[in-house]
Amino acid sequence: MISRRSLLTTALTLGAMKAFPGLSYAQARPLVFATFTGSWEEAHKAVLVPAFRKANADAAIVLDPMLSVDQIAKINAARANPPIDVMLHDPGPALVAIGQDLAEPYPVEKSAYYKDLIAEAQEPMGPAPFFQVVGLTYNPETIKKPPTSWADLWNPEFKGRVGITNLNSTLGTGWLVEVARMHGGSEANIDPGFKALEALKPNLAAVAANPGALATLFQQGQVDISPGNFNAIQILKARGVPVEFVAPKEGAIAFKTTIHIVKNSPNKELAFKLIEASLSPEVQTTLMNSPYLIVPTNAKVPMGGEIARVLARDTEELKKKFVFQDWKKINEQRSAWIERFNREIKI
């Protein structure tokens, strides 16, 4: 079946080839940006893409939302002529993509904004435009006492009401590491986490395929409590869905999201300009505000609003209050963890 996106891409490409007969198919196609599903796709469609098009003569761009693991697989399948120009990754997949030589070095020397990023966001193989934060999500209409700890998910009161994601997402894997740590494990010792997951089964209502699907389960009233992304919850709240976010006493998980020019992209210059737009104070300020509430990395963007109230007043406070994980260590065994999770965690 031909999707609407495929039809749009083909139409834009054929139009460009007609206007410039010397172009090949790969050179003529619009810029393809592989964002994440759910709230990320919504935020980028509403804010980043319009800012990019406004600054670049209404240049053609197509969003192709998918998980990081799928981005890497898709590019690996066509390295010489990649179907994606810009990829978005959480820390674990970013290390994989760079290790597999799928990313171009970012042209730092011609960037207007790279030097303004906080030090942790200055990644020469792909800067980080945003931080993500994972904590506890719950429905305040059905759960009257707000949870305070990851351990609350095991409360017998929540039998058949807990949602989690599988380990293909950073949310799922990062949360499992914290569960392991809570029981004496770590990035290097995940067994206590799997043992705790086995004990969680009576409480599980669903294992979502990705964070976007988990948000949908809240919207449909199929789960009442789960680990969740801060910004995804804010979009649900803006829609009137009864849901709240709380940072657990063990520390919420914080990780940076990096954005990369795909190696061999026929649209390298436009890819650079899209990334520049994502680093700009204007885009980061807009995405920091309701309903997106994505944590900015440009030091010229002061944290404010709900982010300053709930998470941190500045990046220094964020670094003190939140948990940062060793994704290099996690990546060493992540594939085995995913296989084990898919084999053992079924409801």
Taking alpha carbons only, the member of 290, 185, 280 closest to residue 231 is: 290
Residue 23 has pLDDT above 60, yes or no: no
Entry pTM: 0.76
Residue-level pLDDT at 306: 84
Mean pLDDT score, 65-90: 95
Q: Distances in Å between the alpha carbon of 317 and those of 132, 157, 181, 308, 309? A: 15, 34, 22, 10, 12
Mean pLDDT score, 222-244: 90
Beta bridge partners of 300: none
Mean pLDDT score, 254-269: 95
pLDDT digits (tens, 9 = 90+) for 239-259: 899 999 998 999 999 888 999
pLDDT, greater one: 116 or 292: 116
Residue-level pLDDT at 6: 46
In angstroms, how far is the first alpha carbon of the chain from the final one?
32
pLDDT digits (tens, 9 = 90+) for 170-199: 899 999 999 999 999 999 999 999 999 999
- Confidence class for position 291, pLDDT limits 50, 70, 90: confident
For residues 317 and 35, what is the distance between their CA atoms, to the nearest angstrom?
Answer: 28
Residue-level pLDDT at 2: 40
Residue-level pLDDT at 319: 74
> 3-state SS of 85-121?
CEEEECHHHHHHHHHCCCECCCCHHHCCCHHHECHHH
pLDDT, greater one: 208 or 13: 208
Q: Distances in Å between the alpha carbon of 310 and those of 42, 120, 217, 269? A: 22, 22, 24, 38
Percent of the chain residues topping a pLDDT of 70:
92
